Amino acid sequence: MPKFDGFQLAVEALQLMDESKRKEILLRIAKMNPKMALRLHQGLFSFDHIEYLLKEDFKVIWWEVPKKTWHLALRKTTPGIMKMFEQNLSVRAYQTLLEEIEGLGPQKLSEVVKAQHEISDTIRRLAGEGRMALPQKNNDRMV
């Protein structure tokens, strides 16, 4: 019998829902099990998902998060995320970003992860406020 991860399936199901339905379900879960609701909420978005930000949402989060936090968070990231930055920033801004990241020198991994969590938390907050959408792999936004 194949094994499946019920938690991951729940997260994936929530990701496919529109924002209002997702909020409604998470609120119901929070009444019964607040810790599970928090885990599900956090599972909906991780730092690696920023690769799938839409251009207009990238602009929102780019200006919301302090640049030093971006520099630290991007010390350890994927080529896809860096490509997304290259596509969404001007050539000069992208070069400056790379120089700032390199200029930091070696950093504690725990500090890099902390910066990534700060960005993830900011994105969740902005999505909750309706100022942007949570990034999804297929970028197929509900309208």
Query: pLDDT digit of tens for each residue in the chain (143 aa)?
Result: 667 778 888 888 887 777 678 888 988 999 999 898 888 877 777 788 899 888 999 999 999 999 999 999 999 999 999 999 999 999 999 999 999 999 998 999 999 999 999 998 899 889 878 898 877 665 544 43
Name, in order, each residue with C-beta under 8 angstroms of 7's C-beta and a sequence gap of 6 or more.
Answer: 39, 40, 43
Name the H helices within the chain: 6-16, 19-32, 34-43, 55-64, 67-73, 79-88, 91-103, 109-128
Q: How far is CA 132 from the centre of its chain?
A: 11
With a CB cutoff of 8 Å and minimum separation 6, the contacts of 100 are 67, 71
Question: What's the pLDDT score for residue 100?
Answer: 96
- State the pTM of this model: 0.74
Question: What domains, with CATH codes, occur in the chain?
Answer: 1-44 (1.20.5), 46-143 (1.10.220.30)
